[in-house]
Chains A and B, each alone.
Chain A
């Protein structure tokens, strides 16, 4: 018993020491957080300067952008709803980036995943839970197959996965549109869209008074599974080592080539699942995308903000969704187009991903760290 208390005391001591005297790794985490924050602030400052030029009411525009989503339950629900596809896209991009693969297939996979999910939910003669399950699985399988194309080309022939995936996105879009227009179009909708998905085959509303669906639960599950996969399994380990140094992975007997393949297949499949969840939990109740939804690129932004860690992806996704909801409100209430948000995002990516940004301060901080580490270990013992 006394042993247990002793252990408990030691445990708390450790935590307190880590806060008072953070070691190298913890300090670098705090520093990265601060760095991201400063980057966002700089981007917002530049945004404000742009607003001064183009808007007649720059102050109300920026305050609507930054604070309005908090003002009502409905709009806050919209923030959460907007975060769901971004979480999927972010986790997908994180896994691929962790392996060093710049693959944009998330874009096309969202599209195909959404279409396949909708079609299964409409035409399969089962209902409710089973229909949703099969719709999601079908989206995963088909987009995984698409993801295999750039993956195998990269692994076997060293073809640049970035350009291939971009081209593949357009192909996926047009193939999807081909099927939608010619075989599954509901003429009575007056739009290029599928038929309505039966209500019981869709995700329920989670929060009364908003459009937030239970799809967000699937997003959370994907985050946890992806984190466990990346940090607790052999395959995840291989992905991380390959991303750090492909040759090192090869020389240590890890199969870098297979990691390059399955990281992209998994990434594509997660994006496909995201598309299905987005459509089955959507407001329209049918699939009516006529162009690429843009989530492939968004995934990259989320991944960069979350430093490729799936566990941080929901936070980054929430932040982005918040800004976007703010931008929508801004375009409704002021004279500024909501597309300004993409300008802000681009600035954030460039600054956060810039290795030289705040590097001087980092060096300063870490010079001192080494001393404090010595001190703290001296005190503890």
Chain B
């Protein structure tokens, strides 16, 4: 029964939310890129570089605000590089993504060494932490009160989900992005610039990747280390696929991934399962999610064909 106690504790909900935030940002980045017709593999790399730059700027300016802003700017820049490579050099977006991920793994260590003289993490330059915002009275509600004593970025994430869904439905740019992703040839024929639209989408994706990165290095931990993203960018891709391009559903699946990750961490003490095997859970869950998504899609396609 220990397991139930664990699953329904406030602490567990709290850890789940903490682990959901970076996955949710990654999933939002994947969502907006996907809407514009780009499989954005570079989210992982963007998160990594943003996390480092955000952490360093926050340390040197002693302000979380500039740290977050630096992380966002880095994410946007990475998005622009991806757009440049696939539009001007015509490198396939998957290959560019792979290359930029390789770039990120090397660049973060190169930069850390050039600035701090260390290669492992930024312990010598601890990040200036992003504050927690505790809403009085509401936070004292049992269990769900946890939702109202979260990090600033949690509220930004929730706001982003709503904003993105309004952006895609109500604004001109949002509609353009959807049009380009849905049928680029048709979009081009009515005079929409595919390159410009995709560039904007990738820049917005960069904002989210940057936020996900700085959350990890400036709130979840107070230092940056090179392995800290640990595939969360890719897990975000899977959450987006499960959410079928809908912001609210995507948030739900990001939360499920967060719960699984939290379970992998907490069960090490509550249950007697080796942590190595628990660590595989989020990744197993991702594969399972992709398989379920594909099965559902195949069924849907069959139905459509049947109707015709």
Contacts and interface: CB of A to CB of B under 8 A. Distances in A.
Interface of A: 54, 102, 153, 157-160, 162-164, 166-168, 170-171, 174-175, 177-178, 181-182, 291, 294, 297, 300-301, 304, 336-337, 339-343, 345-347, 349-351, 353-357, 359
B92 to A, nearest CB: 7
Given A337-B113, A350-B89, A163 B286 contact: yes
A153 B297 CA distance: 14
Contacts of B294: 153, 157-159
Nearest to B231: A170
Contact of B290 (A160, A291, A300, A304): A160
B283 A342 contact: no
8 contacts: A102-B98, A166-B231, A339-B105, A339-B113, A339-B119, A356-B90, A357-B89, A357-B90
Contacts, number: 140
B274 A182 contact: yes
Contacts of B284: 167, 171
B110 A339 contact: yes
B198 to A, nearest CB: 16
B88 A168 contact: no
Contacts of A301: 102
A89 B270 CA distance: 41
A102 to B, nearest CB: 5
Given A163-B234, A174-B279, A337-B109, A153 B91 contact: no
B109 A167 contact: no
A345 B103 CA distance: 7
B69 interface: no
Contact of B276 (A178, A304, A356): A178
Q: How large is the interface on B (under 10, 10 to 19, 20 to 34, 35 or more residues)?
A: 35 or more
Given A54-B114, A300-B98, A355-B90, A342 B287 contact: no
A372 to B, nearest CB: 28
Contacts of B105: 294, 339, 342
B107 interface: yes
Contacts of B101: 297
B291 interface: yes
Nearest to A348: B99
Nearest to B233: A166
Query: Closest 8 CB pairs between A and B?
Result: A342-B106, A354-B89, A346-B103, A178-B276, A337-B113, A356-B90, A349-B99, A355-B90
Given A54-B114, A157-B298, A297-B98, 13 more contacts: A158-B297, A166-B231, A167-B283, A337-B113, A339-B109, A340-B110, A342-B105, A343-B110, A347-B99, A349-B98, A350-B91, A353-B91, A354-B91
A340 B105 CA distance: 10
Given A167-B286, A297-B98, A353-B91, A175 B276 contact: yes
Contacts of A294: 105
Contacts of B95: 300, 304, 349-350, 353
B238 interface: yes
Contact of B277 (A54, A163, A164, A178): A178
Contacts of A340: 106, 110
Nearest to B290: A159
Given A162-B41, A163-B286, A342-B106, A354 B99 contact: no
B94 interface: yes
A54 B103 CA distance: 17
A321 to B, nearest CB: 16
A178 B89 CA distance: 44
Contact of A157 (B89, B92, B291): B291
